[in-house]
A and B are shown apart, each in its own frame.
Chain A
Amino acid sequence: DAGVIQSPRHEVTEMGQEVTLRCKPISGHNSLFWYRQTMMRGLELLIYFNNNVPIDDSGMPEDRFSAKMPNASFSTLKIQPSEPRDSAVYFCASSRQDENGYTFGSGTRLTVV
């Protein structure tokens, strides 16, 4: 089991550019979560999916953020246009619906300059 796989590990981009973060959940897991971690705000849940359907996106900061899960093995989080305040570590996590707790990926460290 390769775990939850996120790419890229690090991303540095200029303000105004589009950024796409990618996540491959553990095979057989049907819930997927995107979190953002900053020093100021800690861990924030952005959006989560169940069986590829977005359940709650109330944590998405604004319309510049969007997330998709086209199939059970892939999800993206897109920021367009990016701003310096989006700089953070973005984590993806997955779980089985009948299992408590979930497995995190290693995160993507995003720096917007």
Chain B
Amino acid sequence: AQSVTQLDSHVSVSEGTPVLLRCNYSSSYSPSLFWYVQHPNKGLQLLLKYTSAATLVKGINGFEAEFKKSETSFHLTKPSAHMSDAAEYFCAVSGGYNKLIFGAGTRLAVHP
């Protein structure tokens, strides 16, 4: 069965410093992996996705993620945090029929 574990429920960074949000996955076959962002009182927006092409995936707003099969990880990074990045971030893995299984989420706080 497919599942994802987001290793941190909260991450706090200063503006201008790097962001690292960690996600480990479990899948019985070669997975498709996703990161979504949710700003307060909004729906989820797709940041980026990995679908067995390049292992380093670039997304919107300067985010990127690297698929590491040996570590079963798909961590999300950004070189320099901006105040507008404060939001909740969800990692997800694909199941059958395009079904997505989401992690519990990581709340990112960005301080001036």
Instruction: Give A residues with C-beta under 8 Å from B.
Output: 4, 31, 33, 42-43, 45, 48, 50, 55-56, 91, 93, 95, 97, 99-107, 109
Contacts and interface: CB of A to CB of B under 8 A. Distances in A.
B53 to A, nearest CB: 11
Interface of B: 32, 34, 36, 41-46, 49, 51, 90, 94, 97-105
B107 to A, nearest CB: 11
A56 B32 CA distance: 20
Those 3 A-B pairs whose CB atoms lie nearest each other, nearest first: A104-B43, A43-B102, A104-B44
Contacts, number: 53
Given A31-B97, A45-B99, A100-B49, 5 more contacts: A43-B105, A56-B97, A100-B94, A104-B36, A104-B44
A19 B28 CA distance: 38
A101 B99 contact: no
Nearest to A105: B43
14 contacts: A4-B43, A31-B97, A33-B99, A43-B102, A48-B97, A56-B97, A91-B44, A99-B98, A100-B94, A101-B100, A102-B100, A104-B45, A105-B43, A106-B43
Contacts of B98: 31, 95, 97, 99-102
Nearest to B92: A101
Contact of A43 (B34, B45, B90, B94): B90
